[in-house]
Structure 1
Amino acid sequence: MNQFTVHPVARHTPIEDFLALLIGSLMVSFGVLLVRQVGALTGGTAGLAFLTHYASQVSFGTAFFVINLPFYYLAIRRMGWPFTLKTFCAVALVSVFSDLHAHFIHIDQLQPLYAVLLGNLIMGLGFIVLFRHNASLGGINILALFLQERFGIRVGKLQMSMDVMVLLASLYVVSVPLLLASITGAVVLNLIIAMNHRPHRYAA
């Protein structure tokens, strides 16, 4: 007789998914606020949205929402409709919340490295919440998964390469110290995801 009883996996209810999308999106968008406050950026689709925001008058929320639009076709093909719809909702919420936070909180003094590290840490935790409820923030992550399936390119290597290109492109809009801080923050974000998002250890 086994010492431990194995229970069937309890799936998330719709209300749990709704709350997870809300909480995860709030966390990611607040991390965006901290990073944006000091003029830094991060990798991935959010990094592209930061670049667009800094180089133009377009808000981060608008840029983030629009940049993600072409990737939903790949999401439907690669992940199916439930994942795509949740991801669309999460992207929309982050886009709205990231622009709304400034109306409710204003930080007068913030040390750049601290802001970037804390912001990416909070974003990483928000990503984990979304991932564990079968959602993401779309963009480059979906493209990486699609290319791995289609051409056998490893997701980790491809995503890291894309992050490096986004961060190098930021040299045109941010200073070298902020670039170094941004790279450190992106590493922290990826480490949090790598340590905590392991599908074979979590199923719900």
Structure 2
Amino acid sequence: MKKILFILLGCLIVTFGIIVLRHSNIVTGGTAGLSLSVTYLTNIPFAITFFLINLPFYIFSVLQMGWRFTLTTAGAVTVLSLMTAVDQFLPSFSIPMLVGAVLGGLLIGLGLSLIFMNGASLGGANILALFLQKRFNLNPGTINFIFDLFVVVSSIYVIGWIKGLCSILSIFVISKVISYFKEDIKRKTTAPAKKEKQARPKVHVPLAD
């Protein structure tokens, strides 16, 4: 129950970050960034595009991370989709791009770290980042940054160079925040396995003469 509450809190923090980015007219990386780009092009609500774009990544998650992680991730994605839908009812406002890039990046990085530490993700590159950390001990912040950079660069023709550079700043901040918590993420996601190994201490039984 405690983990679920922390995942919900993480989703809420990420929601604030996405709203900040959206009202700064810049994008972020991953499936969230792709979804924001689609909303700029089509005006389709972010909640719908975000949910649909994440569907293919669940196949990889089931095969490599297991059903429990996948279902928890699907739940987190659904919750985030519902939370971000609130943005449709907010009054129109704008945030300076530089402020939005840093503030939005900090919020999304904090929210993602909290979600990662409690056995879930927000789909897309998040799943791959956690898989590579678990399998090869790679920095999840760096993996996220590489994929996010690809998404942002491919979105520059939609948002322009200035907004694109601010978007790169945003994903840089996100990666730095996640990298700061990488040891906590690793420790909390591998803790159960360590406990199982230490469950039964060896008992020395002396041999009879």
Q: 1:197 to 1:149 in 2, by over 3 A?
A: closer
**2:123 match:** 138
CA change 1:68–1:200 in 2 (3 A) is closer
1:161: Cα distance to partner? 3.7
Check conservation: 2:11, 2:111, Cα contact below 8 A. Answer: yes
The correspondence of residues 84-163 of structure 1 with structure 2, limited to 5 A, is 84-103=70-89, 105-106=90-91, 108-143=93-128, 159-163=144-148
Task: Give distance in 2, aligned partners of 1:18 and 1:143.
Answer: 22
Quote the sequence identity (%): 37
User: What residue number does 2:175 align with?
Assistant: 190
CA deviations over 1:122-149 (Å, ceiling 9, x no partner): 1111111111110000112324566899
TM-score norm. by structure 2 comes to: 0.80
What amino acid is the match of 1:83?
Answer: F
User: Are residues 149 and 194 of structure 1, via their aligned partners in 2, closer, same or farther at CA, if it must alter by over 3 Å?
Assistant: closer
RMSD: 2.4
Cα gap change, 1:91 to 1:125, in 2 (>3 Å): same
Question: 1:144 and 1:191, CA in 2 relative to 1: closer, same or farther beyond 3 A?
Answer: closer
User: SS of the residue aligned with 1:173?
Assistant: helix
Q: 2:42 aligns with which of 56, 81, 103?
A: 56
* Amino acid paired to 2:181: N
Q: Looking at both structures, which has the greater relative contact order when contacts are Cα pairs under 8 Å and sequence separation is at least 6? A: 1
Show the counterpart of 1:3.
none
Conserved 8 A contact 1:78-1:145: no
Q: Tell me if the contact between 2:18 and 2:104 (Cα under 8 Å) persists in the aligned partners.
A: yes
Equivalent pairs counted in the alignment come to 187
Q: TM-score, normalised by structure 1?
A: 0.81
User: 2-side partners of 1:174 and 1:72: how far apart?
Assistant: 29
Mapped to 2, the partners of 1:189 and 1:149 lie a distance apart of: 20
Structure 1: gaps spanning 5 or more residues: 1-14
Task: Decide which of 144, 167, 187 is 2:152's aligned counterpart.
Answer: 167
| Structure 2: runs of 5 or more not aligned | 193-209
- Partner letter of residue 44 of structure 2? V
**Larger Rg belongs to:** 2
Partner of 1:9 in structure 2?
none
Which whole-Å CA distance do the structure 1 matches of 2:182 and 2:20 have between them?
Answer: 23
